[in-house]
Each structure stands twice: as structure tokens, then as C-alpha cells.
A = this chain, B = another copy of it.
Amino acid sequence: MESSIVIAIGDELLLGQTLDTNSAWIGKHMSDWGCPVVKRYTVSDTREGILSTLNLAIEEADIVLITGGLGPTRDDITKKVLAEFFSVDLVFSEPAWYWIEDYFHKRGRTASALHRMQCYLPSNVQLLENAMGTAPGMLFEWGTKKIISMPGVPYEMKYIMENGVYPIVKNHSSFQILHRTLRTFGLPESQIAERLVNIEDQLPKDCGIAYLPSLGEVKLRVTVRGKKEHALLEILDKICRDVEACIEDCMYGYDEDNLESVVGRILESRGAMVGFAESCTGGKIASRMVSQPGSSRYFFGGLVSYSNEMKTRLLGVDEKILKEYGAVSEPVALAMLEGLFERMSIQYGLSITGIAGPSGGSPEKPVGTAFIAVGKPGEVEVHAISFNKDRAMNMEYFSNTALNLLRKFLMKG
């Protein structure tokens, strides 16, 4: 089990109506389990599309993972095509029907005729339990290779992967791939690359550094590959130490870290609470904090002061300041932060006011301008930033930058 291929089925994926988060999840886990995804096919809900791809994929890897096309509705034809591929019949599966009836029984509902139809499966199938839905995973053997078909609903796919596929994949792999991601914020990709020229020139064979830039952030993915018995972790540690020494000033974390989790960890280690006042980001920064489990230990709350009246009535921003400087200004950002300190039981605070666009800009304050204040009572700082992509990207960049400024403030003291 050295390599795997994903076949994602669905016109909605090709048409861009659904974002393929499943394939990313599978890619990450199969790599962690030692059987990386080496190629992905995204194909239409048609007999020809699925069949021709299956014929290619089975030659190219040890495991073929198929997602999509197993629901109760008639746009799903995967099972028929699989039966054709294996030259077997579709037969009624009693265990599959038992699972479906049990699934509905537990929820006080009754399975329908459509669900009964779902139980006609290729006769060579081995079922993989799906406790999250009605369509079981299907495992097929093909010589030494395996084909696994799963529904497209993300949490059903994940259940089958973790409970059915993981035991098959794990321990069969002789190769190993290790990755570590170093997360940086604030330095452009090309500047990081210049700092790393010497390190990249001297990288050992089968090792690599990839650059993954997004809004203000660059992730550096360091990869080492080799036989399991080799000292891969040592090699990875060495490369990462060398890289880190070059990017200390902009590096904030590893792997699954993100700005909110790093900020949360610092706050929690100090037993400190934080609160936010957000105008242009509309609660996005607060919701990112709350997305972290356990955030109630350090997140007091937030005020989404989108209207001027909200700023004056609920945050106590002086109307005169709003009139004199405008809602998007340094004094208003500072007044919002002071308002937080007066109203919340917090040790640290953050406020932001800006223009996300597409309208609302002016010559001296164009769309993409924002003012961010961070600090603690008695010690605050305010930063003017500017960025101009579309509304959603501006809001994302504002949120990223605000959290990074808060992180840097916390690191100082």
C-alpha cells in the first residue's frame, strides 16, 4: 500500500457549485497514514466518465478511493458502474438494509422505498459501516489492489475513512513521508525564498520545501521521504531548525496552528481574557476565536459595532470624534478599544474599523483601508493598514492582520 488515487464524482464539483473539501481531507489523512494520494480525478456523474477513469486509476496506485454518487437520489450511478467494472450483478444486501432500518429507527423515522433501492449493491462488495448516514462504504478487492467507494457527504465519508479505511491502510506501508508546516505572516513569498536560497541548495535528496501563500500568510511545507527505518524525523527536525533560524521574525506556528489558536494559547497561559470591537469585519475575528474549543477560558466577548449608532450607544465612542475624523480613523479605533476596556472584564482588547468595499471609499481613505488598535489598559497601539482585493478577501486580510497584531502585542510582554 504505497500510494492511492482519489476519484471524486459529481457534476457539482466540475461546475464549481460544491467545493471539494472531501479530497483535501482524504489527501491529508492518506498522507499521514503512509499511503499518499498521488493523483486525483474529478469526473462527471456519467457511466463513461467513471468507467474510463477507474480503468486508468487502478493501474496507477494500490488503493483507489471513490467519493460521491451513493446517495438515495437518482443522480447517483456509481454502484451500477462498479458492478459493470467488476462484471457482477447488483444484488439486494440484507446487512445494508438492516443498517438503514436501524439508522432510521434510532431517529424515530422510517426508511422509504428509495432507501430500499440503495441496498442493491455489486455482489462482490464488502460493506464498511457508516454510522452517520444511510449509504455504507463499499470495499472491493481487485488482485492485490483495493477499490473503496464512499458517499460524498463529508461527515459520512470521514466516518468510513477513519473506521473502515484506516485499518486497511495503516501498517501496510513500507515508505514514509513526513511533513511539517512552518507558518509565517507578513513577509512576501519571494523575500522568504531569498532568505532560504542556501538551505534549498543543500537540501538532501527526496526532501523539499514548498511555498503556500495566502492573504498575508505564507506556509512553508517541509517534506522528507524515505524508507520507514531511516531517521526521517531527525532529517526533518534539522531542516526545520535551519529554516526557522532564517524566518524567526515572521514565523508564528506549526502545522494546524492558526493565528487564533496561537493567540488563544498565549492568553490561556496567562489566565487573561480578551474582547473585540469589530466594525468592518462584522464579527469574523470573534467567530474565529470561538471556533477554537475551550475559547470560553480566554474570550470574554465581542461587539460588532457596524453602525455609528452602535459605536456611540454600546461602545461609548464620542459622536464628536466620529464627526471630526470619520468612522474609519485612528481616533475611532482607539475610542472603540477604550470603550471595550470600560465595559468588559478583560486584560487585552482589539478593535478594528475599516472599509471592506466594494463602495464606501474616498480619495484619502480608499477601499481596503483599516485601522486596528490592540493593547491593554494604559498601553495601546494603533496601526493603519491597506489592502485592496474584493470585499471577502479584504475582510479576511483585515482579520488575519488584526490577529497577528494582537499576537505580536502579546509576545512583547
List residues of chain A with CB under 8 Å of any chain B CB. Answer: 10-21, 23-29, 31, 36-45, 49, 53, 71-75, 112, 114-115, 153, 155, 179, 181, 189-190, 193-194, 200, 208-213, 219, 221, 223, 273, 275-276, 278, 280-287, 289-291, 293-296, 299-307, 309-310, 313-314, 343-345, 356-359, 389-393, 395
Contacts and interface: CB of A to CB of B under 8 A. Distances in A.
Contacts of A26: 16
A271 to B, nearest CB: 14
Nearest to A280: B290
A126 to B, nearest CB: 25
18 contacts: A12-B212, A12-B221, A14-B38, A15-B27, A16-B27, A39-B53, A40-B41, A40-B43, A45-B210, A72-B189, A115-B190, A280-B290, A282-B299, A283-B304, A296-B306, A301-B303, A302-B302, A302-B304
Of the candidates A306, A358, A391, the one having the most CB atoms from chain B within 10 angstroms of its own CB is A306
A273 B42 CA distance: 44
Given A155-B390, A275-B310, 15 more contacts: A12-B221, A14-B38, A15-B27, A18-B24, A19-B20, A42-B42, A283-B284, A283-B285, A283-B290, A287-B304, A293-B359, A300-B309, A301-B307, A313-B345, A314-B314
Give the dominant DSSP class at A's interface.
Answer: mixed
A304 B290 contact: yes
A278 to B, nearest CB: 7
A300 B29 CA distance: 43
Given A19-B24, A344-B313, A153 B190 contact: no
B74 A193 contact: yes
B303 A304 contact: yes
Contact of A16 (B25, B275, B295): B25
A328 to B, nearest CB: 12
Contacts of A14: 27, 36-40
Contacts of A23: 16, 20, 42
A253 B348 CA distance: 42
Given A25-B16, A212-B17, A307-B299, A189 B39 contact: no
A283 B291 contact: no
A348 B340 CA distance: 25
A221 B306 contact: no
Contacts of A43: 39-40
Contacts of A213: 71, 153
A343 to B, nearest CB: 6
Nearest to A308: B296
Contacts of A10: 210
Given A17-B219, A31-B15, A301 B304 contact: yes
A49 B39 contact: yes
A281 B290 contact: yes
A73 B209 CA distance: 10
B41 A28 contact: no
A73 B211 contact: yes
Contacts of A193: 72-74, 114
Given A210-B12, A301-B310, A391 B27 contact: no
Given A210-B12, A211-B75, A282-B291, A19 B17 contact: no
Given A20-B20, A345-B309, A209 B304 contact: no
A393 B278 CA distance: 24
Nearest to A389: B155
A10 B72 CA distance: 34
A17 B112 CA distance: 39
A287 B281 contact: yes
B28 A24 contact: no
Contact of A19 (B19, B45, B307, B391): B19
